[in-house]
């Protein structure tokens, strides 16, 4: 199946109060720590990445790249994906046409054209947005894609902007910032101010037009590049105006064929949200659109001692009913600093890392929470009981929050062993916990209104962890053949790194959204979610489940190897 895209956006949950932050941070560090201990740590690539032409010219690597036949057609092309067409409203299509920045920019240009009596058609703006273009994007301080550099190539259109040079010295919003050397020509670089506090830079030469959305990212040679991402030098702008393709090489993209209407490539730096060190193989994703629809690709990086891509043990241990899952190969020679910082001595850290093998996976469940996925990993030995002492020691040092009402300021670790399974569990006070404080054996000992039972378990050669103890219990039941695994409903003998269940995801998103918008505290946003978001989530939930598979025998060979992702309906 070729139709695919991301799920619709949902409102950002309300932020936790200052009192909640230490407990939330402890939980996030715990998940990250266990993942790091299992080998999801940045490892040395097998071959160093080649220096790019853009690096040499002073253009920092983009976090995302859009190559399009028409910017104005992009929203409508996205609606070619069936479940996006059913879940997004017409507001999405018209969002960019009525965006304040776009309207402000159009208004400023039209004022300049009118006041200076320039012989430019009123449809100039529409023509600009309806041209082929390459758009490189960089993340802002909040992690979202924000700043962009646009390169447009259209025969003769850039020359239409030349009359603007006549008014650059006599207008309050348009001025000449400097000059660029393109071949033997001097090209003016203009700054256009709009919406009172915003501005952009642009220059045109021949059939090329370049636009930089944030002038603060532009630096002169004597000032040097900024430490922030997205910096652009005069040499880079000149090279783009001269026809050099500096963007595609940053993603090692194949040549763009004429039949491709849209191509969107996103770096893992955006998708991993700062946790790239835990998923070293993952480089990025790409979505291409042609006459047959949208197609997905996964970019992988090769590592030293590259492990085999065998995800079957993960799917055999994961309980049935997941909302979404992702599996990744565990690096063969993980580093030890994180384990040492978490309380393990050098010998214990070495022993633990040597026993990790195969793949690890995360699954989210609708009957749990977004921040409590189940982690499954494999150990090398069928009988790994010799690790139990070290696992228990590490769990005790890693897991816990400061409990002011408890002796030793932490609840004791409860340890259970039955057959091939060994379980470690600690009660942790947290307002994000699944259990109300009144349900605790000693409610007065809970610091806050809720608590969780953080659990780690080893079942033979399988390691399990979650902030939700019920998920660990269910996984143990799965391994004991008392509960069906995800493997029962997935395609056999295929390489499957991702599972996507729209019905269960919709339930999880609805729960998280409404929980973050208490009706008595956020009545406006709560009512808006009930009116606009929840019906769309229900529509999303009506779609079937999908398995995203890679070609059999896939294995990264170098940097940015693009592997086709096939969406299989289950």
Q: What is the pLDDT of residues 361-405, one digit of tens each?
A: 899 999 999 889 999 988 887 667 778 888 888 888 888 888 888
**What are the two backbone dihedrals, phi and then psi, of residue 237, each rounded to the nearest 5 degrees?**
-65, -40
Exposure on the CB side of residue 560, measured as CA atoms within 13 A: 15
d(CA 282, CA 562): 11
d(CA 415, CA 457): 10
d(CA 202, CA 148): 12
Residue 220 in this model has a pLDDT that exceeds 90 = no
How confident is the model over 34-63, as pLDDT tens digits? 333 333 333 444 555 556 777 778 888 899
* Cβ contacts of 75 within 8 Å, gap of 6 or more: 92, 93, 95, 96
| Average pLDDT over every residue of 313-328 | 93
Residue 150 in this model has a pLDDT that exceeds 90 = no
Query: What's the mean pLDDT when you consider all of the chain?
Result: 77
> Looking up tokens 């690890």, which residue turns up?
360
pLDDT band of 490, cuts 50, 70, 90: very high
Residue 416 in this model has a pLDDT that exceeds 90 = yes
Q: What are the Cα distances from residue 115, in Å, to 108, 118, 188, 335?
A: 11, 8, 22, 65
Lowest model confidence (mean pLDDT) among 23-37, 133-147, 345-359:
23-37
> Would you put residue 424 in left (φ > 0), alpha (ψ -120 to 50) or beta?
beta
| Confidence (pLDDT) at 88 | 60
- In DSSP terms, 68 is beta-bridged to 133, 262
> Where do the H-state alpha helices sit in 434-553?
469-479, 502-515, 523-528, 534-541
Residue 472 in this model has a pLDDT that exceeds 80 = yes
| Average pLDDT over every residue of 450-479 | 95
What is the reported pTM? 0.73
| Confidence (pLDDT) at 425 | 96
pLDDT band of 436, cuts 50, 70, 90: very high
d(CA 240, CA 462): 52
pLDDT band of 13, cuts 50, 70, 90: very low
Return the DSSP state at 144: S
> Would you put residue 11 in left (φ > 0), alpha (ψ -120 to 50) or beta?
beta
| Confidence (pLDDT) at 368 | 94
Greatest distance between any 2 Cα atoms in the chain:
87
Lowest model confidence (mean pLDDT) among 21-25, 160-164, 281-285, 297-301:
21-25
| Average pLDDT over every residue of 137-156 | 79
pLDDT band of 316, cuts 50, 70, 90: very high
- In DSSP terms, 365 is beta-bridged to 322
| Average pLDDT over every residue of 485-499 | 90
d(CA 364, CA 481): 21
d(CA 412, CA 408): 9
Residue 469 in this model has a pLDDT that exceeds 90 = yes
Q: What are the Cα distances from residue 450, in Å, to 14, 31, 54?
A: 18, 19, 52
R_g (Cα) of the chain, nearest Å = 27
Q: Is 454 helix (H, G, I), strand (E, B) or coil?
A: strand
């Amino acid at each position: 199946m070729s139709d695919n895209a991301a799920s619709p956006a949902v409102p950002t949950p309300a932020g936790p109060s200052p009192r909640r932050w230490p407990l939330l941070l402890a939980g996030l560090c715990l998940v990250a720590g266990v993942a790091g201990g299992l080998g999801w740590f940045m490892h040395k690539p097998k071959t160093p990445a080649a220096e790019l032409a853009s690096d040499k010219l002073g253009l920092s690597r983009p976090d995302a790249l859009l190559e399009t036949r028409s910017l104005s057609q992009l929203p409508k092309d996205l609606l070619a994906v069936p479940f996006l067409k059913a879940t997004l409203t017409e507001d999405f299509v018209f969002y960019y046409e009525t965006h304040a920045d776009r309207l402000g920019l159009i208004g400023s240009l039209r004022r300049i054209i009118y006041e200076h009596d320039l012989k430019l058609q009123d449809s100039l703006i529409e023509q600009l947005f309806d041209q082929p273009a390459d758009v490189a994007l960089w993340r802002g301080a909040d992690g979202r894609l924000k700043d962009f550099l646009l390169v447009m190539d259209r025969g003769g259109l850039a020359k239409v902007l030349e009359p603007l040079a006549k008014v650059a010295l006599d207008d309050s919003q348009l001025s000449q910032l400097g000059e660029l050397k393109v071949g033997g020509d001097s090209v003016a670089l203009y700054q256009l101010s709009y919406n009172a506090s915003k501005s952009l830079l642009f220059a045109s030469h021949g059939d090329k037009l370049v636009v930089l959305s944030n002038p603060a990212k532009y630096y002169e040679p004597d000032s040097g590049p900024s430490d922030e991402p997205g910096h652009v030098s005069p040499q880079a702008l000149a090279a783009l105006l001269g026809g050099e393709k500096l963007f595609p090489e940053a993603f090692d993209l194949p040549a763009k064929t004429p039949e491709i209407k849209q191509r969107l490539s996103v770096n893992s730096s955006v998708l991993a949200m700062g946790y790239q060190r835990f998923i070293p193989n993952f480089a990025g994703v790409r979505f291409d659109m042609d006459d047959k629809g949208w197609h997905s690709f996964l970019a992988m990086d090769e590592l030293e001692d590259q492990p085999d891509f065998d995800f079957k043990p993960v799917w055999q241990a994961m309980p049935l009913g997941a909302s979404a899952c992702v599996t990744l190969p565990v690096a063969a020679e993980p580093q030890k600093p994180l384990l040492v910082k978490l309380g393990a001595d050098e010998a214990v850290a070495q022993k633990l890392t040597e026993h990790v093998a195969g793949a690890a996976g995360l699954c989210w469940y609708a009957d749990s929470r977004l921040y409590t996925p189940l982690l499954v990993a494999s150990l090398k030995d069928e009988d790994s009981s010799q690790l139990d002492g070290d696992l228990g020691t590490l769990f005790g040092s890693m897991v816990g929050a400061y409990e002011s009402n408890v002796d030793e300021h932490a609840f004791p670790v409860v340890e259970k062993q039955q057959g091939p399974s060994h379980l470690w569990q600690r009660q942790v006070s947290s307002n994000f916990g699944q259990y109300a404080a009144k349900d605790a054996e000693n409610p007065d000992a809970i610091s806050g209104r809720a608590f969780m039972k953080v659990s780690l378990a080893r079942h033979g050669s399988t390691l399990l962890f979650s902030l939700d103890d019920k998920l660990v219990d269910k996984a143990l039941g799965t391994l004991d053949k008392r509960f069906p695994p995800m493997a029962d409903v997935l395609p056999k003998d295929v390489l499957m790194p991702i599972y996507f269940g729209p019905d269960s995801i919709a339930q999880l998103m609805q729960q998280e959204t409404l929980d973050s918008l208490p009706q008595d505290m956020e009545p406006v946003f709560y009512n808006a979610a009930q009116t606009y978001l929840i019906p769309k989530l229900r529509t999303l939930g009506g779609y079937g489940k999908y398995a995203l598979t890679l070609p059999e025998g896939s294995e990264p060979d170098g940097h940015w190897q693009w592997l086709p992702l096939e969406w299989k309906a289950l």
